Structure 1
Amino acid sequence: MHTLVNGLIAGAAGTSALNIATYLDMVIRARGASTTPQRAVSKLADRAHLDLGEEEHASNRRDALGSLLGYATGAGAAVCYGLLTAGRRPSCPVGVLTLTALAMTGSNGPLMAMGVTDPRQWPPSSWLSDALPHLAYGVTAYAAYELLRP
């Protein structure tokens, strides 16, 4: 039970750090928000034959559901980390890199499988926009998880 709760808390902290890093990047580079989460929600809704409503309502639901998917991914990555490391205490670099990789795989893997994005086609700026916030996630989730360990 502790692994699940600690993972959820660490995932929430890490996801908050990821969002802050993303928003800071948007401010610094004056770039727009990614539409990838909304496109993923559209694909999932289409595959599940779900009607999200009239366009204005559907757009708002896609925005909200896209954000919720991000929180679910962050929570899931940290819970997986807790399960993988049960009974062990990875060093800081190993823990941070593991959490970063879990979060990146958890977010980009399904997006690639659905055909929403293909990181192999990304320019370096897109890789930085993705990797740095995920690293912020890894650092924060690791610190939170370690602080929660008995």
Structure 2
Amino acid sequence: MRTLIKGMIAGAAGTSALNATTYLDMAIRARGGSSTPQDTVERLAEGLHVDLGEEETAENRKEALGTLLGYGTGLGAAVCYATLTRRRASWPVGVLTLTALATIGSNVPMVALGVTDPREWSVSSWVADIVPHVVYGTAAYIAYEQLR
């Protein structure tokens, strides 16, 4: 149970860092947010035959559920890491592992659902995806190691 709680705390720290990095990037480059979380929710709802409601209601639910998917991914990646690591991992290994878990957890479902195709991403899109995930991995690793 302690491992689960430590993983959740580390995941919350990493997710906060990822979100702050993403919003800072949006502010600096004056870019809009990605629609992929909402598009993912829409595809999931269609596949599960779940009615999200009419126009504004559906849009609000997609936005909220898309955000919650992100939090779930961040918490889940760190809980997986905490469960898999019995001994202290070195800084590079821990950060890269957490970064990979979060990146896979967020991107693989979107690719599988046909929401996005990384082969078509521009360099700036790759940077906008990778940098926040590395920040996530770093923050989650530091938080987890401090809780050990």
Q: Deviations over 1:68-113 (max 9, x none)?
A: 0000000110011011112x11011110111001000000011111
Q: How big is the shift at 1:62?
A: 0.3
Match of 1:38? 38
Match of 2:59? 59
Match of 2:137? 138
Q: Distance in 2 between matches of 1:127 and 1:7?
A: 27
Match of 1:102? 101
* SS at structure 1 position matched to 2:31: coil
Match of 1:10? 10
Q: Distance in 2 between matches of 1:133 and 1:22?
A: 6
Match of 2:83? 83
Taking every aligned residue pair, what percent have the same amino acid on both sides?
Answer: 68
Unaligned runs of 5+ in 1: none
Q: How many residues align?
A: 148
Q: Distance in 2 between matches of 1:117 and 1:6?
A: 32
Q: How big is the shift at 1:54?
A: 1.1
* SS at structure 2 position matched to 1:50: coil
Q: How big is the shift at 1:121?
A: 1.3
Q: Distance in 1 between matches of 2:57 and 2:108?
A: 28
Q: How big is the shift at 1:42?
A: 0.1
Q: Deviations over 1:15-60 (max 9, x none)?
A: 0000000000000100000000000000000011111111101000
Structure 1 counterpart of 2:92, which letter? P
Q: How big is the shift at 1:3?
A: 1.2
- TM-score, L = length of structure 1: 0.97
- TM-score, L = length of structure 2: 0.98
> Which structure 2 residues correspond to residues 15-34 of structure 1 after superposition, within 5 A?
15-34=15-34
* SS at structure 2 position matched to 1:31: coil
Structure 1 counterpart of 2:66, which letter? G
